[in-house]
Structures are given as C-alpha cells and as structure tokens.
C-alpha cells in the first residue's frame, strides 16, 4: 500500500480469457478465504476474483486492531487502481460482503478509476448509530471509551448468520477468523456502518444489492430504511434482489449457488433478468411485507453519528 503496509492477497483466475475482474472485500472478523468457494464459480464464467485481507483482519500485521474507515477505503481504492493498470480494457467490479459492503459504499463516493464498471453489495453493513436502538448506542459508546481493549465473543446472542452449519463449524476451527473482538473495534465498525448508511446513493456505476430475508446480522428495519434511499434515488442503474431463504452469509449459505448465479448473470448483462427470479422493485409486495414486519428502530431517523 501507499504507506508500505502489506496486505495478504489471493487471485483466482479462469482457465481462459479474463472477461471481468472482481475485487472482493470480506466481512467483519473474516478474511480473504471467504471467497475461496465463490471464486471457483466466478472463474467458470471467465471472471477473475481478487481478494485481500483488510487491515486488522486475517493474516495482516495488526490483526484484531481497527485500522480506520479512511485507511480501509484508501487500501481498496489503491488495489482497484493497481488492477485497472494490470488488466487494461477489462471491466472491474467491486464486491463487498457485510463490512466489505460498507467499505464499497464509501468507495463509491470517491473518484473511481475509469475501469470500474459496477458494484455488488452483499448484505451490506449499514446498521450504524442511525438505526441502532438507543440502549445499544449508549452501552457501546460507554464501553468503547471506558473499556476499549476488552474483548467480547458474541456467545449467547443466539444469532444465526447462515443455514450452512458445516461452513460455520469450519469458520470456528479457522485460526484466521477472529473469535474475540475488541470493543473499540466494534465501535470503529459502527462508525463505518453509519457512514455507509448516510452516504450519497447517487452512485457513479450500476449497483446490485442482495439481501436475505432471514438476515439476523443486519436487521430488516435497518436495511429497509436504507433501501428507501437506495431505490428512491433514480440516478444510475440499481438492482435489488431479496432471497426468501437467504441468511446473512448469502454467498456461503446452503442456497449460495442461486446467489452466485445472479451475480454472474448481472455482471454479464446488467439489463437481463436475474436467473433466480428474486429481483424486486420498490413497490413489490415482498419488499413491502419485509419492511412492514420489520418495525422501526428505536433510534431517531436523523441523529448524527460520530465519525
């Protein structure tokens, strides 16, 4: 990177010509291995996948420490520019899962290289101060300032991130997946999510957003509030897909092949129908049902985050 920092990186290339390059950003406490399986599917369609460990995660030097949203954004922009230079004439797509989706949303606010042709947001992390209940807001702020180095595991929360239990057990055995998280890192993540929620949705490139109706990580009330702005802004091309059997880890759920097929189809032709048939519009009954049952966050709609 520009400051000499090294990011572990994996490249999965197709056997034949590269039709597109996909820069994939992983989620919170995860690392580049999150895209090992999906990259094989993408390679069969002529798509090269490039994934790296974001600072503070995976095999990076400061594993477990929050690097800051500006630094993470700058790293992504640097890698995108390097890929554009290495593959001239080949379209580059940005894909972000969860936390990685929040980084991509922030990246879309920047002066992107000309080769960037679109972005895929997979269950993007937009559950920040704006949509957090007041009691969680207060508790996190207090803990981040009084006990920043204290770690928490999330055990006992009874949250299901995916219906793929075998995959979840493998993550539990993987030493590069962070199990105990510092509170100040959670605070930094919340600031990132808040910035992504508040970011301009006037995106410079077409965007595909994917969300599972069983997502217990990014709650429906938060996503629905974001989708009001995402779908309400008519500038540029944007596509929304809701998966009735999907959880948070859509690209590794039991029905991951359905999601991956939609991503490939969208990259190949952004105007074509998604193979799954799960594309929805702002006035669809499925979206209305999801949001009607979600309720409202306890936080005020326009409260400013401390970014």
Which of 216, 104, 132, 221 has the alpha carbon at shortest distance from 168?
216
Domain locations in the chain?
Answer: 9-292
Give the distance, in angstroms, between the CA of residue 245 and the centroid of all CA atoms in the same chain.
19
Strands (E), 128-252: 151-152, 181-182, 207-212, 238-243
Q: CA 47 to CA 140: how far, in whole Å?
A: 40
- Per-residue pLDDT band for 137 (boundaries 50, 70, 90) equals confident
- 136: which residues sit within 8 A by CB, 6+ positions away? none
pLDDT of residue 303 exceeding 50: no
Handedness of CA 192, 198, 204, 206 (dihedral sign): positive
Q: Which two tokens stand for residue 12?
A: 């999965």
Q: CA 45 to CA 93: how far, in whole Å?
A: 14
Note whether 256 and 162 are within 8 A (CB).
Answer: no
**pLDDT of 91-110, one tens digit each?**
999 999 999 999 999 999 99
Which of 287, 270, 280 has the alpha carbon at shortest distance from 241?
280
Q: Out of 51-55, 110-114, 157-161, 257-261, pick the least confident.
A: 157-161
Q: Out of 46-50, 91-95, 295-299, pick the least confident.
A: 295-299
What Cα–Cα distance (Å) separates residue 194 from each residue in 128, 131, 191, 197?
4, 8, 5, 5
Fold of 9-292: Rossmann fold (3.40.50)
pTM for the whole thing? 0.92
Instruction: For the chain, give the percent of residues with pLDDT over 70.
Output: 94
Which of 176, 6, 185 has the alpha carbon at shortest distance from 79?
6
> What pLDDT is attached to residue 305?
35
């Amino acid at each position: 990177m520009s400051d000499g920092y090294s990011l572990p990186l994996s490249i999965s290339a197709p056997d034949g010509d590269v039709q597109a390059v996909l820069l994939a950003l992983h989620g919170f406490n995860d690392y580049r291995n999150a895209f090992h399986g999906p990259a094989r599917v993408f390679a069969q369609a002529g798509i090269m996948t490039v994934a790296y460990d974001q600072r503070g995660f995976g095999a990076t030097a400061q594993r477990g420490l929050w690097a800051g949203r500006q630094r993470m954004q700058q790293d992504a922009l640097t890698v995108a520019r390097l890929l554009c230079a290495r593959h001239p004439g080949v379209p580059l797509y940005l894909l972000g899962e969860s936390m990685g989706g929040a980084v991509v949303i922030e990246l879309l606010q920047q002066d992107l290289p000309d080769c960037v042709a679109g972005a895929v947001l997979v269950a993007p992390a937009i559950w920040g101060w704006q949509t957090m209940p007041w009691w969680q807001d207060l508790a996190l702020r207090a803990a981040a300032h009084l006990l920043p180095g204290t770690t928490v595991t999330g055990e006992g929360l009874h949250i299901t991130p995916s219906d793929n239990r075998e995959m979840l057990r493998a993550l539990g055995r993987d030493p590069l997946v962070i199990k105990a998280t510092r509170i100040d890192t959670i605070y930094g993540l919340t600031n990132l999510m808040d910035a992504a929620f508040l970011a301009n949705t006037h995106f410079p490139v077409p965007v595909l957003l994917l969300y599972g109706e069983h997502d217990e990580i990014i709650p429906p009330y938060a996503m629905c509030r974001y989708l009001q702005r995402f779908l309400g802004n008519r500038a540029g091309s944007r596509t929304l897909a809701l998966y009735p059997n999907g959880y948070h880890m859509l690209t590794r759920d039991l029905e991951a092949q359905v999601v991956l097929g939609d991503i490939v189809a969208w990259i190949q032709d952004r105007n074509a129908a998604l193979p799954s048939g799960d594309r929805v519009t702002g006035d669809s009954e499925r979206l209305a049902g999801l949001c009607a049952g979600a309720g409202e966050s306890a936080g005020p709609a326009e409260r400013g985050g401390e970014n």
